[in-house]
Amino acid sequence: MQLTRHRLVLDIRSATLALSLIVAGPLTLMAANPTVPTLTIDASKSVATITPRLYGLMTEEINHSYDGGLYGELLQNRAFMDDAQTPRHWSLVQSEGAEATIALDRDRPRSEQQPVSLRLDVTAASSGHPAGVANDGYWGIPVRSRTRYTAKFYARANAGFSGSVTLAIQSEDGKTVYAKAQVAQLTDQWRSYTATLSTGKVVPTAKARFVLTVDRPGSVWLNYVSLFPPTWKNRPNGLRPDLMQALVDMKPGFLRFPGGNYLEGNTIAERFDWKKTLGPPEDRPGHPCPWGYRSTDGMGLLEFLYWCEDMGAEPLLAVYAGYSLNGEHVTAGPALTPYVQEALDEIEYVIGDKNTKWGAVRIRDGHPKPFPLHYVEIGNEDNFDKSGSYDGRYAQFHDAIKAKYPQLKLIASTGKEHVPSRKPDVVDEHNYSSAATLVEISPNHFEGYERKGSPEVFVGEWAAYEDIAPWDQGSHALPPTPSMKAALGDAAWMTGIERNADLVVMQCYAPLLANVNPGGRQWRPNMIGYDALTTFGSPSYYAFQMFSRNHGDEVLKATLTDATLRSSVTRDSRTGVITVKLVNPQPTPAAVKIVIPGVASLAPAMTAITLAADPTDTNAIDTPKKVVPVTTKAPNIKSGGVYTLPAYSITVLNMKP
Ligand code: AHR
């Protein structure tokens, strides 16, 4: 043991000053010192069970989470429906000597669902002097070395046109061609064409565009023009691999989808209408999303379910409950019956067998096995429905779903006071608060809840923001992802959730994803940021990951004699590993004596995972790993050892008695 220095601990909550001794090294034995705070762990019994679903993900189309994010599609406005007047994100390509015009066209549509085509009229073009159209992607097209891109599009030409179409991924100025392909002669009938474009060795860049050109005069109509890079598990219409890896690394137990506000839509007509999201993507109409842009619905119900399956997470399905963001609601009773039926059909799609109508549709769509659904949420944030209609609407959904699927647990989208006529299995309570607030409330918040006869709690959306709330104007000027200051609030909040796992059965941070390009996001803070090429986790991402990857299945009672620190203690009943989580939101290191009465020694394989940084530090596209957890082997100790928590830190200690 070696005493190195003294420190002053400023208790920000009580504003008292305490003096204590710190020992050097991460974990050392310490002479009896009454001023060192003690964490006393009662390992004799567990006080609550942690389900494998405690840590999950929440998702919706916001911040270009799917289109321009997780969904693999690289071309923006592939169906030409983003704007009724102009072919947004498409531009004319005219090489020297070529002449052409482009316009949206609604004549002779290819399909009812995607009725708009892009008409290209070429009056002058020749071999070596082509004319065509370019798409600028979602803030660029990601070009990577030795990568195969799959293009698909529908086209027709004027009768007598005998040309082919050249596809290319090229630099924004067209001077560098990264990959190229050609498709055979067009006809005057709509037909689909596919092609593979392969890059060689390139310096990765997103300063690229996708072009389709012809080399002779004529008229060409294009519809549903799509370009995919390789996807996670090579699923067609699949997901972006680096983002999926970041999500899989969180080991989520469930995925709450499809929203959020995205479930509700601005109007009833703009709700997430799941039946319109099935089938080939070129037959999905898409719809306006409430966050200010149009969704392709390429991420449809089946894609959400595959997403769950590929992460090893359960679906937590939110069904539309007859309330939309503009305040419209459907009154409970006969008017609501079709919406209840929509929800029943949706559940049947997820879990029905081949003898059910919608189970058979899922099988036709390619997934014979039912998905493992246990929880269904009725609506989203229905506390905002000031008409008071939620109680009646919830009851109608509750009765119909319970009658058909008694095994499902139902979640009310708001506190139990809004649903007095039924007892939901679970209530979803959202919490977006400042980091300071979450640090402050975390020791007592869920401890104060009535247990007896109450529904379980799902914290279906939560996040700490540093100082400026997401809905305040000033938040737009801040970076899209949070700093270490917020992560400290997140971690403190999660210690409270873990300690109360008997009540809080599931939780997920929101929003999960954000395209960080200017104009890409509508909300902050967001857990994971990305542009076309790079993905990074914020400090909040790593804080969450430290919790979601390090918890056992039982909560141990523990007492900490320091009001400035936050803690939770769990154990894995199969391995016996005890996990201690400690949050030090203070500007100075803090020593904690860890005492486990009855446990004389700990196995040498103890690890410490630490996330420590200045509160203003954060990660970004250019500095994606500035704030990351560090894992160290911590030496064997006896019960009574002292661990020093760095200033502004989150620590996870895994120890085996
Ligand atoms: O997470 C962003 C939004 O916050 C969600 O869409 C909504 O449910 C909540 O108000």
pLDDT tens-digit series, residues 77-129: 999 999 999 999 999 999 999 999 999 999 999 999 999 999 999 999 999 99
Mean pLDDT computed over every residue of the chain: 93
* pLDDT for residue 138: 98
Question: Is 7 a residue whose pLDDT tops 70?
Answer: no
Start-to-end CA distance of the chain, whole Å, equals 22
Contact yes or no for 583/566 (Cβ under 8 A): yes
Q: Which atom of ligand 1 is nearest to the CA of 58?
A: 1
Contact yes or no for 28/227 (Cβ under 8 A): no
Q: Which atom of ligand 1 is nearest to the CA of 511?
A: 1
Strand 218-228 and strand 254-257: the pairing is unpaired
* pLDDT for residue 485: 98
Contact yes or no for 74/67 (Cβ under 8 A): no
Structure tokens at 119: 């008409």
Q: Which atom of ligand 1 is nearest to the CA of 259?
A: 6
What is 108-137 written as a DSSP string? Answer: S-S-SSS--EEEEEEEE-BTTB-EEEEE-B
Q: Is 584 in the pocket of ligand 1 (CB under 6 A)?
A: no
Burial 284-309, CB ≥16 within 10 A → b, else e: bbbbbbbbebbbbbbbbbbbbbbbbb
- CA–CA gap between residue 379 and residue 263 (Å, rounded): 8
Q: Is 60 in the pocket of ligand 1 (CB under 6 A)?
A: yes
Q: Is 511 in the pocket of ligand 1 (CB under 6 A)?
A: yes
CB atoms within 10 A of CB 108: 12
Q: Convert the pLDDT of each residue in 348-390 to its tens digit.
A: 999 999 999 999 999 999 999 999 999 999 999 999 999 999 9
Q: Convert the pLDDT of each residue in 367-378 to its tens digit.
A: 999 999 999 999
* pLDDT for residue 33: 53
Contact yes or no for 431/497 (Cβ under 8 A): no
Residue 290 CA, ligand 1 centroid: distance in Å? 11
- CA–CA gap between residue 358 and residue 275 (Å, rounded): 10
Question: Is 627 a residue whose pLDDT tops 80?
Answer: yes
Q: Convert the pLDDT of each residue in 573-593 to its tens digit.
A: 999 999 999 999 999 999 999
**Residue 192: is it exposed, middle or buried by C-beta count within 10 angstroms (0-12/13-18/19+)?**
middle
Banded model confidence at residue 636, pLDDT cuts 50, 70, 90 = low
Banded model confidence at residue 211, pLDDT cuts 50, 70, 90 = very high
Burial 136-149, CB ≥16 within 10 A → b, else e: bbbbbbbbbeebeb
- CA–CA gap between residue 483 and residue 543 (Å, rounded): 11
Tell me the HSE value of 296 on the side-chain side, using a 13 A CA sphere. Answer: 29
Q: Convert the pLDDT of each residue in 296-331 to its tens digit.
A: 999 999 999 999 999 999 999 999 999 999 999 999
Q: Is 510 in the pocket of ligand 1 (CB under 6 A)?
A: yes
| Predicted model pTM | 0.94
**Which amino acid type is present at position 402?**
K
- CA–CA gap between residue 130 and residue 167 (Å, rounded): 11
Q: Is 429 in the pocket of ligand 1 (CB under 6 A)?
A: no
* pLDDT for residue 19: 25
Question: Is 276 a residue whose pLDDT tops 70?
Answer: yes
Q: Which atom of ligand 1 is nearest to the CA of 510?
A: 1
- CA–CA gap between residue 344 and residue 400 (Å, rounded): 8
Residue appearing with tokens 């609506």:
379
Q: Which atom of ligand 1 is nearest to the CA of 381?
A: 8
Residue 578 CA, ligand 1 centroid: distance in Å? 35
| 112 torsion bin: left (phi>0), alpha (psi -120 to 50), beta (else) | alpha
Consecutive H or E run containing 495: helix 484-499
